[in-house]
């Protein structure tokens, strides 16, 4: 299955971000991708974290969700909309959900995952605290994608900071996941230090493919994100990546090769703890 990780440098204007995302998704579709993953905050990187509150949508309808559904239909793509701000249930005027939504080529929403682990960082110069405006999720989420190659890919969803919590991905592997998604907006500092090694570790320890779509550049709000969107195979090999700036990372994931790796090294069956 050919897959695409979409890298962006999103700004504060939703319309501009959706226009840029559409062009990148169209490029992926022309290249033969079946599944395209957009980065975290693909639709908006505001000047302030609280800017998300004004853009929130209820699950099931809204301009951004409608755009994702229509784009999936128009391009004949499975699209995972990195994250967008969804209203809490019941609504919370101070917080929104940071949700990743998957849509089929028919424009049907097949999965919704709310980011479970919320990023907090303070090195004396840069400070981030997502819990100030985000409500954390609690439910791991998988969906199935029947690909053109005849394999039904079992896909586990996650977002950015989740990457540091191996137990989430181990739970996905225990439920049969063979592909893991990590739409992200890693900071430059943490990305430079940890991004690739964590992605490869999650692939290796779960013998699963990984698609990591990232924000990558300097944003209007002054924040610099690490980028380096990549696709990793189940042996931990980086199949393709894009360092900085907008771009499309394309790679072929081979279900037969993945099954062979799991047969050669049946580590998932050797678990004793947890």
List, for residues 150-180, the tens digit of each pLDDT value: 999 999 999 999 999 999 999 999 999 999 9
Tell me the CA distances in angstroms from 67 to 1, 15, 140, 190, one per residue in order. Answer: 24, 10, 25, 32
Q: Which of 34, 40, 130, 244 is catalytic?
A: 40
Which of the residues 43, 112, 160, 244 is marked catalytic?
Answer: 160
* pLDDT confidence of residue 238: 98
Which residue stretches of the chain have pLDDT < 70?
A: none
Q: Tell me, yes or no, if 120 is annotated catalytic.
A: no
Residues 6+ positions from 117 with CB-CB distance below 8 Å: 136, 161, 162, 164, 165, 168
Q: Residue 93 has what pLDDT?
A: 86
| 130 belongs to the catalytic site | no
Give the C-alpha separation, 216 to 246, whole Å.
Answer: 7
Q: Domain-by-domain residue ranges, the chain?
A: 2-270
Q: Are 17 and 256 in contact (CB under 8 A)?
A: no
Q: Is 52 a catalytic residue?
A: no
Could you say which of 34, 52, 112, 115 is catalytic? 115
Q: Which residues pair with 134 in a beta bridge?
A: 96
Which residues are registered as beta bridge partners of 142?
Answer: 156
CATH architecture of 2-270: 4-Layer Sandwich (3.60)
Q: Quote the pLDDT of residue 124.
A: 87
Determine the pLDDT at residue 125: 86
Q: What is the pLDDT of residue 126?
A: 84
- pTM of the model as a whole: 0.98
Q: State the pLDDT at residue 273.
A: 87
């Amino acid at each position: 299955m050919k897959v695409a990780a979409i890298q962006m440098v999103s700004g504060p204007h939703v319309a501009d971000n959706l226009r840029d995302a559409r062009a990148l998704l169209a490029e992926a579709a022309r290249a033969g991708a079946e599944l395209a993953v957009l980065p975290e905050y693909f639709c908006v990187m505001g000047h302030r974290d609280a800017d998300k509150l004004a853009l929130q949508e209820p699950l099931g309808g809204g301009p951004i969700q409608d755009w994702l559904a229509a784009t999936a239909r128009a391009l004949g793509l499975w699209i995972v909309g990195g994250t967008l701000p969804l209203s809490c249930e019941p609504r919370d005027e101070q917080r929104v959900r940071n949700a990743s939504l998957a849509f089929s080529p028919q424009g049907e929403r097949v999965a919704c995952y709310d980011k479970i682990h919320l990023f907090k960082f303070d090195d004396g110069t840069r400070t981030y605290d997502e819990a100030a405006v985000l409500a954390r999720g609690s439910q791991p989420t998988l969906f199935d994608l029947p690909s053109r190659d005849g394999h039904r890919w079992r896909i586990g969803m996650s977002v950015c900071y989740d990457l540091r919590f191996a137990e989430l991905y181990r739970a996905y592997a225990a439920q049969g996941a063979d592909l893991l998604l990590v739409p992200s907006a890693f900071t430059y500092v943490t990305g430079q230090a940890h991004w690739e090694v964590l992605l490869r570790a999650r692939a290796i320890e779960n013998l699963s493919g990984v698609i990591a779509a990232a924000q990558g550049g300097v944003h209007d709000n002054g924040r610099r994100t690490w980028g380096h969107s990549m696709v990793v195979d189940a042996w931990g090999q980086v199949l393709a990546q894009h360092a900085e700036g907008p771009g499309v990372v394309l790679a072929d994931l081979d279900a037969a090769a993945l099954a062979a790796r799991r047969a050669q090294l049946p580590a998932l069956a050797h678990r004793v703890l947890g």
